[in-house]
Amino acid sequence: MKIKYAANLITLARIVLAVVLLLLPPLGLAFILVYLICGLSDVLDGYIARKTKTESALGSRMDSVADFIFMMSVLIVIYPIIKPSLGILLWISGIALIRFVAVGVVWVKFGTPAMLHTLANKATGILFFLLPLSLALVSPTVPVLVLCIAATLSAVEELAIDILSASFQPDIGSIFSRNQAIIN
């Protein structure tokens, strides 16, 4: 494998492994191992791309797609375990709607459907990643609420950045970043 494609191949592997999660017993040993490999691949693909200077728009989009497929697979698997209330389901639907609108704003303004890699999105991703692992330790209520709060804040921030941005910069840190892409 050429080093040029290493990061993208790791991302592609995460997509395949995320689908494999749907076939494994929820929170069993095989599930946890594949789950941890998915998490490790999410860290490694970006690290390798940066270190080898092979970052690309394709790689960034593939990473977003892989993250989405991973999150959806995990949600499908843990849904029966967390048994979310109607209020939580409506909250999650609201978060999804905000994210959908944000992608639409980027598409209309900059001609590409994409999501940002903000610090808040990364923090939400970490909390999401910890959710299934926390289910062995605590009732799902607290981790689900914390995750919903973080996801709401990151989604609203992303939408605000998308609306205020003069140019598309997917790796902006936050709305408070000193970045010329944001209109002051």
**Interval 81-105 mean pLDDT:** 95
Tell me the pLDDT band of 160, cut-offs 50, 70 and 90: very high
Tell me the pLDDT band of 76, cut-offs 50, 70 and 90: very high
**Interval 106-111 mean pLDDT:** 93
Q: Are residues 56 and 89 in the same domain?
A: no
Which of 64, 68, 17 lies closest to 40 in space, CA to CA?
Answer: 17
Rounded Cα–Cα distance for residues 76 and 22 (Å): 8
Span 115-131, pLDDT tens digits: 888 999 989 989 999 99
Q: Would you say 99 and 155 are in contact if contact means Cβ atoms under 8 Å apart? A: yes
**Domain hosting residue 180, numbered range:** 83-184
Does 182 score more than 80 pLDDT? no
Q: Are residues 43 and 88 in the same domain?
A: no
Q: Are residues 113 and 172 in the same domain?
A: yes
Does 184 score more than 50 pLDDT? no
Does 180 score more than 80 pLDDT? no
Span 17-75, pLDDT tens digits: 999 999 999 989 999 999 999 999 988 988 898 888 888 878 878 888 998 899 899 99
Q: Are residues 39 and 58 in the same domain?
A: yes
**56-65, 150-159, 164-173: range with highest mean pLDDT:** 150-159
Rounded Cα–Cα distance for residues 16 and 123 (Å): 24
Total of domains in the chain: 2
pLDDT of 178: 56
Does 144 score more than 90 pLDDT? yes
Where do runs of H (alpha helix) occur along 52-169?
57-82, 86-110, 119-134, 141-164
Domain boundary among the residues 34, 52, 81 is at 81
Which DSSP letter does residue 66 get? H
Domain boundary among the residues 27, 47, 81 is at 81
Name residues whose C-beta falls within 8 Å of residue 79's C-beta, 6 or more positions apart in sequence: none
